Structures are given as C-alpha cells and as structure tokens.
Amino acid sequence: MFPKGFKTAGARGGISKKKDKKDTALFYSEFPCAAAGMFTNNLVKAAPVLVSTEHLKKSASDIRAVIANSGCANACTGERGLADARETCSYAAKKLALNQNQVLVASTGVIGQFLPMKAVKSGIDILLGSAGSGPENFDSASRAIMTTDLIPKVSSAQVKISGKTVSIWGCVKGSGMIHPDMSLPHATMLAFILTDAAIDKKTLASALSAAVENSFNCVSVDGDTSTNDSVFALANGASLCSKIKPGGRDFVLFSQALGKVCLELAKLIALDGEGATRLVEIRVMGAGSRADAKKIASTIATSPLVKTAIFGNDANWGRILAAAGRAGVAINPSKVDIRIGGLKVASKGMALNFSEAAAKKILTQKEILITLDLNMGSSFCSYYTCDLSFDYIKINASYRS
C-alpha cells in the first residue's frame, strides 16, 4: 500500500541530453512532514546538497516537497549554482503555495555544468500537472532520477503501529560514482523515502541514520564518493498511527522496516552498478569492532583485482586476503578463514585444497557471498559491491561526452 497523503511524478523537462529521457521528479506531501536528510561527506558538495541542508535546518518539521533532477549535478557551479538550486525550490514553492524552505532539492548528472533553468521549470510545470498517488507515479519518479542506471529501484515495507498500517516506500538511483559516505545534516546516489508514519524529525533522523549506516554507507560500485549523494526521508503522519517515540517497541518496528527498505535499495544499487554482472556481499566476521570489519570489507569491496577476479569467475582468494592486509586494521593474517559461498577456500591464511569446479559454480551465480572470519573478536559488517567488467570501462570512458 502506497503511503497515504503523498503524490509523486516523473517528467521530462529537457535537462538530460538523452532523447525522451525523463529528468525531473517530484515527491510531494499533502501534509507537513517531519523530514531527515543525510548528505555526502565529500568536501566538494553540490549546490543542492548545501541548499537542502539549509532548508532542513529551518523547516525539518514542516517539509512538503522534494524536486529532483537527473542530467546535471549542479556541482562545482559556485554562487550561480546555489542561486539555481534556490530558484528551483522557490519556483516549485510558489506554484504549490509553499514557503521555499519547505521544498528540498537534489541533482545528479555531470559535474561542472550549470542547471538549464528553463528546462528545470518546464519540468516542474509538467510534474505539478501530472502528480498522483500510487505505485505507477512513484515508478515514474524513480525512472526520472536514473542516469546510467539500467533498472528503476524501488522497495517498500509495511508495519503495524498502534493498530494502523504504516507504509514505507523508497526509491533510489545510483550506478556509478558509488561509494556513499553520508552523515546526518550533511551521496551520486539519491534516495527518497516516503512514509505515512507519525514521527518527529529527531526520531526520524535517528532511525534513518542507523538504517543508512547499514545499507547505503555499506555499498560501493567504484569507490568514488560523489559530491551529490543524498537520502531524504519524509514522514507525514497520514497513517494516523500514534506518534513513534524513540526507544519503544514501535520505534524498533519502524526502524526494522526502514532498515529493510534501505538495505534492499542499497543491494539494488550494487546489482545495477555500472557494468555489474554480479551482486557481491563481503561479510567480515570475528573482528574487534564493527568499524574494523567495515574498513576491511570496504577495502576488499573496492579492490579492482578482487572485482575483476569475480567477473572472471576466478576463486582468487589471495587477492582477497591481500586487500584485507592493506586495509589499515591490525589483523593476524595467519588466523583468517575465507569462504566463497559455503565453500571454505582458505584456512588460517593458507590455501585449502578446495574444488575449483565447485568454486566456479558458486562464482557464476548472480549473487555471491564472500566471508572472511578474522577470528579475533565478535564484531562484523556486510558490505555490498559488484564485479568490475568491460562495460564499466565502456560506460565511463564516454560518459560526459
């Protein structure tokens, strides 16, 4: 069930150079929303990131809409870029009879180019005329934010809170320049999460922060952190459930559902990563701390040698262990066990006489789990990535031109 009180749309304003590609999206709530945003930690922050941060500071209990565009990142565009992002908000605000601080903005596409404001406005005009509630409109919005993505990425969950059905729907775009590192009031992944839960901005931010840390902040396509990464969560209370308070059972239920939506979206990003043929989960266990486990998992997940080996169906566990050894965490290599799927390929840092045929069979599957047990402690982290294929090169050697 689509969250109550939300209308969404996707339209073509003419920003994207790809013919007929939808390039503007609207996420609109009929009621004021508690809102939370998490943004890139890259020091090079796009104008929409700065403007949305500003608006969240002023109006996080009273957000009504988000305008998103693909085709232009509005990053490295200086004062003019900031003015353009503000104008996007105020143009939509005026048409919707809102204050401009009630509108958030997000962009993805080429860095270093100015937003074609005429196309942006024409997109907004069409969006306002076509917005509707329901999955079809949300699907249209999720397609409008795609760049090199091949599939629209949508996930949803439902949870009962005080007898009412609360819905959480999210969509995300992101295929390249994917290595989100986001923190609160601060990814080019863009995610939009709509829910009709009743929750205040602080509690929503706390639930979102936990969900993002275990999902979007644990996915990498190419190790390049974007200037535009953003996750927005809007909660409008239209389910009429009782207010979700931090710490209680309702909070746990809501957080679990939100976590499920974010994790599904994050996995879809890796599966649809530029040139990806496989979704790979790197699970590091037996670590001294989750931070250590994440550092190692992230290093393995971004190793070009590991990723090309997976593309080649090669059980080259030596590359996996070598990547772990350079992660900057004090591990004892002679304690490390490595599994590919259920097959143990290395024990105590040394080769096992495993069946290459069995390994190849596992590696040709669409989803692959690689497990490292450091045998040092009890902390763990799962990190999601994809293989590195010829198509990644093809896509990125010619993206801008």
Catalog residues that contact a second copy under the rule CB under 8 A: 41-45, 73, 75-78, 110-113, 176-177, 179, 181, 222-227, 302-305, 308-309, 311-312, 314, 316-319, 321-326, 330-331, 333-334, 346, 348-351, 356, 388-390, 392-394, 396-401
Minimum CB separation of residue 340 from a second copy in Å reads 13
Structure tokens at 272: 């649809």
Minimum CB separation of residue 322 from a second copy in Å reads 5
Report the distance separating Cα 326 and Cα 339, nearest Å: 19
Q: What is the DSSP letter of 47?
A: H
User: 221-252 as b/e, with b when 16 or more CB fall inside 10 Å?
Assistant: bbbebbbbbbbbbbbbbbbebeebeeeeebbe
Report whether 259 contacts 214 (CB < 8 A). yes
Report whether 273 contacts 357 (CB < 8 A). no
Minimum CB separation of residue 105 from a second copy in Å reads 19
Task: Kindly tell me which of 46 and 105 has the beta carbon lying closer to a second copy.
Answer: 46
Task: Kindly tell me which of 8 and 385 has the beta carbon lying closer to a second copy.
Answer: 385
Going from the C-alpha of 400 to that of each of 48, 49, 156, 244, the distances in angstroms are 20, 22, 33, 45
Minimum CB separation of residue 55 from a second copy in Å reads 21
Report the distance separating Cα 185 and Cα 358, nearest Å: 47
Task: Kindly tell me which of 156 and 303 has the beta carbon lying closer to a second copy.
Answer: 303
Partnered with residue 371 across adjacent β-strands are 283, 339
Minimum CB separation of residue 77 from a second copy in Å reads 6
Task: Kindly tell me which of 147 and 167 has the beta carbon lying closer to a second copy.
Answer: 147
- The SS3 of residue 128 is helix
Task: Kindly tell me which of 81 and 341 has the beta carbon lying closer to a second copy.
Answer: 81
Cα torsion angle, 331, 291, 176, 272, sign: positive
Task: Kindly tell me which of 185 and 223 has the beta carbon lying closer to a second copy.
Answer: 223
- Catalytic annotation present for 308: no
Minimum CB separation of residue 365 from a second copy in Å reads 17
Minimum CB separation of residue 3 from a second copy in Å reads 33
Report the distance separating Cα 304 and Cα 317, nearest Å: 13
- The SS3 of residue 326 is coil
Non-local (6+) Cβ contacts of 249 within 8 A are none
Of 40, 188, 203, 385, catalytic: 188
Report the distance separating Cα 194 and Cα 34, nearest Å: 11
Task: Kindly tell me which of 25 and 336 has the beta carbon lying closer to a second copy.
Answer: 336
Report the distance separating Cα 219 and Cα 168, nearest Å: 21
**343-347 sheet: strands from edge to edge:** 350-351, 343-347, 337-340, 367-373, 279-287, 379-386
Q: Which residues are catalytic?
A: 188
